[in-house]
Amino acid sequence: MLAVRQAEIIRDQILHADPQISVEIVTMKTTGDRILDKSLAQIGGKGLFVKELDRALMEGRIDLAVHSLKDMPMEENEELPILAYGKREDPRDVLVYRPGLACLPEHPVIGTSSRRRALQMERLYPGCTFRGIRGNVQTRMRKLETEGYDGTLLAAAGLRRLGMEHVAGRYFSAEEMIPAAGQGILAVQGRRGETYDWLEQIDDPASRAAALAERQFIRILGGGCTSPSAAHAQVSGNELKLTGLYYDEETGTYTVDSICVDLSKDRAIDGKEHFSKAEQAGEELAERMLSQSLARS
């Protein structure tokens, strides 16, 4: 199960940072995991993947929660901050073919519940038909074989963490299919005010900068779980390049644009980078794309 594997990755990093710590993994099934016959938009959005864990954190039943950042709501709970952003795994999307296929047929049926993926897939493969599909990786693979899909779209990061790269039929570059904000990054959430001595060894500065830029872009656009808007930041040295996809609900069209910023101009406060430049980049790109959209309408 992917959620367990992700928790194990963070556990192992904590133990590497401090071998004396005792770490126990507590598995929890969320509402989002249990209700698989409806889209996230119908049942309440991405918050359904975190609310049970938020409650467990607030009640002290667990001390940390590990999430795939792309599944977290854009609005954060101040009492339960994201403490660390793990080193980013492959952020790309992957096309997985039905067993027996080496490529898609002329008018393929694609299983995805993501409007972001469907919007960009339609441009790459005109003539696709999309049908909703939900569940963990193993569930989707089983449905792919038994429910009439020709292919499905998954995050490369999940396949890699599960050691299932062999099922990937085609990897899309981040330019071909802009990933979801935060895709490939593990977020470690805890309680405000508590001390975690191992944090600096878990938190990856490049992941943090990318996450702040991407999430701010989506936040300014007002994008939630139903929005196909997307953002992907690449950090190279001190340079951050953010590419954003903005979908105009009124016209049914989307635009892609990018911005580059120099992170070295950020000042360190109390010895820690606040990466204000990364968030500013997300905000500036979103506002620019909104203004351009208004000018066209």
**Pick from 192, 160, 178: which is nearest to 68 by CA?**
160
What letter does residue 25 receive in the DSSP assignment?
Answer: -
The strand pair at 109-111 and 129-131 is best described as: parallel
Give the list of residues 6+ apart from residue 82 with CB closer than 8 angstroms, or none. Answer: 69, 72, 76, 187, 188, 189, 211
Determine which one of 18, 33, 54, 71 is catalytic.
71
Active-site residue, 71 included: yes
Find the distance separating the first CA and the last CA of the chain, reported in whole Å. Answer: 46
Beta bridge partners of 253: 248
* Residues making up the chain, counted from first to last: 297
The strand pair at 268-269 and 253-262 is best described as: unpaired
What letter does residue 251 receive in the DSSP assignment?
Answer: T
What's the one-letter identity of residue 143?
Answer: K
DSSP strand E in the chain: where?
65-68, 82-85, 93-97, 109-111, 129-131, 151-155, 170-171, 186-189, 230-236, 239-248, 253-262, 268-269, 272-273
DSSP strand E in 81-199: where?
82-85, 93-97, 109-111, 129-131, 151-155, 170-171, 186-189
d(CA 208, CA 178): 19
Give the list of residues 6+ apart from residue 29 with CB closer than 8 angstroms, or none. Answer: 52
Catalytic positions are: 71
